[in-house]
Amino acid sequence: MPKVFAESIFAFLTVMLLLSVIHIGCSSRHLEQNPVEHYYEESAPAYSLEQSEKNATEQSQKTATSAKPKETSIFTVIELEDLEHPTLAASIQLPYRVGPNNTVILSGGHAYLTTERHLHVIDVSIPQRPSYLTSLAFSDKIGKVLAAGDYLVVASRKKFYIVGVSQPSHPVLESTEHLPQRHPIKDLDVLDDHLYVMGENDHLYIFHAPRGRAQLVKAVELEKRCWLLSLKAGSPEVKQIPQWTSNTFPGDLWDPFLSQRRFLQLRSSKNQKVRASSIFLVVEWLRDPTYDLLSFDAYRRVDDPSTTTVHISYHDLAWQFREYLTATGQKTLTRSPAVRAYAVANGKMQEITPEPSSSETMDVEDKRLKQLMGPVTDFQISGDRLYIVTANGFFSIMPIVHPYIIENMRDIEIMKERWRKWGKGEFLSASLFLSATPLQASRPISLVVGEGEHYAYVLSHPEDSKR
């Protein structure tokens, strides 16, 4: 009897030991299938139960250091009632990471902005008190957003999405499209009912997209040295303008200006940014695309309305900033917080009281102006002014045309002298700054200016971001 009892005890212990081993194995596999959660696609390796039992302290330290905090994005409202002294009216901090290709636009009293995987809707009908409405998530990383009536076009690496916003607080994904052979997307623009998508395979794809669906109309092979694209008379036909290399006015620009055919705001073959309005064209200049801009403009002559005069101006941002500081006698610049600050958490917005100590005064030195401002990250045309943001958080306003051109439009002799200077390879520099305002603790990546030029809106990532 004792022998039978002993054998029973032994069998019981054996079964329990086997069950324990099976449980440990299942737990280990479960841990391996559920790695430490990180932001979006980033993840750290999962540590097995055996590893953690070997050195629990080391495991905890590795997990803590490998996990990255979720980054944020900042939406800033700038009041422009006094163009020489813009005011930081409000800012919203969103708990979403923003990338270099994300953008902000305005449409119908709402600001639409993208972060890495989300489209966000903000009511700016009262600009000083912006109101966060909602966010729409996407399955892959997104970049540029454009408005076309009641629809938005949102681009990712190999797709573009059409989103209905007839009810801005409830955006609806209407369709998902891609280029033939799923070629990667380099850039895109919307004019009227047509969508122009530039592929990285040197083709321009033209879609008709009037009601939430995009139908391919034609594909155009781009020239290797294509610089600009403008609409021909029979839209959606386009005219390719080759890369401009001389210091004289590019002859191919005459026709679009004279016929008032619009330029497409698509990056050039050299990846230059392009911004256009009905009478202005501004591009990054290849000599120093991080700081230098070229602007072109066309005016109907006052003394002869049938004649259009076209100008070219060169904008050296650092030099013009130095001239502005000299003229105003400023030796320091103060970076202050927005008047109202908000933070969004769990889909709700709460007002934050800015700390007085967050203001910062920066000394201005000529030799380090470029380093102080950082390279241009975005620029926009509104009216006859150019609005610029730079990587180190500066917001600047300048006239696109030099003041003396506007003052002397009737003086033909001055105009002739300007043409002679161009023939010698000289540029007229639009050297007047209206203002240069440091933004609080942010690195801007996209800018949009509202109608009437009373407010500007900036999308940034935090200053301490590693991007």
* pTM exceeds cut of 0.75: yes
Query: Which DSSP string do the residues of 194-211 spell out, in sequence order?
Result: EEEEEETTSEEEEEE-SS
Cα 268 from chain centroid?
17
Q: Enumerate the domain spans of the chain.
A: 2-63, 71-91+270-467
Query: Which DSSP string do the residues of 212-250 spell out, in sequence order?
Result: S--EEEEEEEPPTTEEEEEE-SSTT-EEEEEPP-SSSPP
Return mean pLDDT, the chain: 77
- pLDDT of 382 > 70? The answer is yes
Mean pLDDT, residues 431-455 taken together: 83
Given pLDDT bands bounded at 50, 70 and 90, which one contains residue 286? low
Bigger pLDDT: 222 or 268?
222
CB neighbours of residue 449 within 10 Å = 21
Rounded to whole angstroms, how far apart are CA atoms 410 and 412? 6
Rounded to whole angstroms, how far apart are CA atoms 148 and 166? 11
Task: For 211-236, write each residue's pLDDT tens digit.
Answer: 888 999 999 999 888 889 999 877 78
Task: For 67-76, write each residue's pLDDT tens digit.
Answer: 344 679 999 9
Task: For 97-126, write each residue's pLDDT tens digit.
Answer: 999 999 999 998 999 999 999 999 999 999
Given pLDDT bands bounded at 50, 70 and 90, which one contains residue 188? very high
Edge-to-edge strand ranges of the sheet holding 348-352: 348-352, 340-345, 87-94, 73-79, 455-462, 442-449
Residue 398, CA distances (Å) to 83, 414, 435 in order: 10, 23, 7
Rounded to whole angstroms, how far apart are CA atoms 131 and 124? 7
